[in-house]
Amino acid sequence: MRPKNFIRTFIDEDLASGRYAGVATRFPPEPNGYLHIGHAKSICLNFGLARDYEGHTNLRFDDTNPAKEETEYVDSIQEDVRWLGFGWDDRLYYASDYFGRLYECAERLIETGWAYICDLSPEQLREYRGTLTEPGRDSPNRGRSPEESLELFRRMRAGEFAEGDRSLRAKIDMASPNINMRDPAIYRIKKAEHHRTGDSWVIYPMYDYAHCVSDAIEGITHSICTLEFEDHRPLYDWFLEKLDWPQPRPRQIEFARLNLEYTLMSKRRLLQLVKGGLVDGWDDPRLPTMAAIRRRGFTPSSVRLFCERIGVAKKDSWIELEWLEKAARDDLNPAVKRVMAVLDPVRLVIDNVPDGFERKIEAPFFPDEPDRMGTRELTLTKEILIERDDFMVEPAPGFLRLSPGREARLRWAAFVRCTGHETDADGRVTLVRCELNEQPVTVDAKGKPARPNIIHWVPAELSVPAVARVYDRLFKVPRPTGEDLAGELNPDSLVVRDGARLEPSLASAAPWDRFQFERLGYFMVDPKAGEPGGPKVFNRIVALKDGWKGAGGRRPR
């Protein structure tokens, strides 16, 4: 059973009433940037509805604005949609495919008196538009005959006028309380090279006009978009009505866009981060782009799970980052091997075993179900490496791991009790000395054996060197404005552990392989970083537990 939401309710009604025989949706990105997790919400919604209602989804590049679009984005967008697990068969379209049809429809609007050529300059157009509290004023050309407008429109198309000299406008109502309905532009002059149509057009259709007609041409039933288009819906319907478009016409439905705490989704801001060198390219694993999320190690199913859980709403809200992280944990938890890695090692020497001591231990990769992922052999040696913060010379209150005189249990192995330590000139611990015991030797106040905490470890010599990149929130403020990037960015969003050491079984880990490093989090071998033959680079996908609180956005249960 899929969760109900208002969009599904609308669709159910439309199918029950016979308005549509099936469901056809579209995902209409503008190829002017990389997709981000907000787009993933829209992709999962559109493709998910089509899947559940046995309909189909078109991928349509909304390339009506010639200045900004690039082929690089067209390719990356397709890769991202496929990565999320969705396909469009042969239904890959471009709004520019319809330039001819859109032009013909515009001529029809002129002929039927619903559109006219306006000679006002862009500044005058703004002036005439009015405000939220004041009505607009009619263009002096509003009464122009269809014949004259048609002739001027054809000359516009032929390139006879300069940019901004004239525009084609819908004839609706300059006094409408909805500013979108105050004779909006349909076509403007733009002498720019288009990535697909080259220089064959010098006039380009406006989004509101192109979008509804493109939907209608493709037979889209439910045109799902974000809330800021709610006030554009009357215009969407108006164009199709005045074009006398045959029924059934598409129905626009708006939902709340995704805002995710501690990150930003505006393409403009993402571009600033990338071009300004504040992050390391479009796939820097700290970014919310799909390319970055993929490279960080999130699985497609975790992103789909996230989108399903946050659902769709009719009111804007912020989602806590923990929703995404929890979805990743829930998805990875049953799927990956548990292994040991030490990110910030300190040496531990076991004094009461001989030099060359080796103990082989067979340990399951998935302890909860030992048969599921098999086992590997661990080797306990006289010298091992433990996590620096698992040892404290003077244990802080509540610290229950190793410190002088105290005991810990080595994961899958025996017990160690700290008998001493060494420091360098700065007081930094360089070595922890221990004795090995098969059973804990510490007793509590009642004389009962204590239950030492478990710490992870790797053998010093046999372990594999690696680099671990530990990622944190990109911004230090939960709801960044993006206006002061330097001030709002989290300076600790990336901590590189280049002296990390891994248990020997990880020597064969390959790019895209994911693991749980016990006690540390989920990690994936970075597909891009690292020199051949050099240490592998692991990205932390997500920590094991949420360690911080957001600003009170919606939290997962």
- Kindly list the catalytic residues: 30, 257, 267
Report the relative pairing of strands 464-471 and 536-542 from DSSP bridges: parallel
Residue 44 contacts ligand ATP per CB under 6 A: no
DSSP string, 458-483: EETTTSEEEEEEEE--SBSSSS--ST
Number of residues lying near ligand ATP (CB under 6 A): 13
Residue 554 contacts ligand ATP per CB under 6 A: no
Nearest to 45 by CA among 226, 178, 287: 226
Q: Enter the DSSP assignment of 90.
A: T
Q: Which stretch binds ligand ATP (CB under 6 A): 22-30, 417-425, 486-494, 548-556?
A: 22-30
Q: Which of 8, 51, 196, 257 binds ligand ATP (CB under 6 A)?
A: 257
Residue 66 contacts ligand ATP per CB under 6 A: no
Tokens of 465: 């060197």
CB 442 within 8 A of CB 469: no
Nearest to 429 by CA among 466, 461, 400, 387: 387
What's the closest the beta carbon of residue 65 comes to ligand ATP, in angstroms? 9
Report the relative pairing of strands 429-437 and 415-423 from DSSP bridges: antiparallel
Partners of 494 in the beta sheet? 471
Q: Which of 7, 38, 60, 88 binds ligand ATP (CB under 6 A)?
A: 38
> Residue 116 or residue 236: which is nearer to ligand ATP going by CB?
236
> Residue 269 or residue 519: which is nearer to ligand ATP going by CB?
269
Omega cis (within 30) before 248: yes
> Residue 81 or residue 500: which is nearer to ligand ATP going by CB?
81
Q: Which stretch binds ligand ATP (CB under 6 A): 25-33, 242-250, 368-376, 517-525?
A: 25-33
Residue 41 contacts ligand ATP per CB under 6 A: yes
Residue 553 contacts ligand ATP per CB under 6 A: no
CA distances to 181, 186, 360, 370, 481 from 112, rounded to whole Å, are 18, 15, 87, 75, 46
Q: Which of 125, 235, 265, 467 binds ligand ATP (CB under 6 A)?
A: 265
Nearest to 389 by CA among 407, 377, 403: 403
Residues 489-548 that bind ligand ATP (CB under 6 A): none
Report CA 193 to chain centroid distance, whole Å. 31
Nearest to 201 by CA among 119, 121, 95: 95
What's the closest the beta carbon of residue 489 comes to ligand ATP, in angstroms? 20
Question: What is the rounded distance in angstroms from the CA atom of residue 517 to the CA atom of residue 294?
Answer: 19
> Residue 65 or residue 379: which is nearer to ligand ATP going by CB?
65
Q: Which stretch binds ligand ATP (CB under 6 A): 23-31, 83-91, 456-464, 542-550?
A: 23-31
Residue 324 contacts ligand ATP per CB under 6 A: no
Closest residue to ligand ATP, Cβ-based?
38
Residues 6+ apart with CB under 8 A from 306: 37, 40, 323, 324, 327, 328
What's the closest the beta carbon of residue 545 comes to ligand ATP, in angstroms? 27
Give the number of C-alpha atoms closer than 13 A to the C-alpha of residue 346, restricted to the C-beta side: 20
Q: Which stretch binds ligand ATP (CB under 6 A): 35-43, 170-178, 422-430, 549-557?
A: 35-43
Residue 304 contacts ligand ATP per CB under 6 A: no
CA distances to 135, 136, 152, 188, 548 from 131, rounded to whole Å, are 6, 7, 29, 22, 44
Residue 267 contacts ligand ATP per CB under 6 A: yes
Residue 28 contacts ligand ATP per CB under 6 A: yes
Residues 200-229 that bind ligand ATP (CB under 6 A): 225-226
Q: Which stretch binds ligand ATP (CB under 6 A): 257-265, 284-292, 449-457, 530-538?
A: 257-265
CB 219 within 8 A of CB 20: no
Positions that interact with ligand ATP (CB under 6 A): 28-30, 38-39, 41-42, 225-226, 257-258, 265, 267
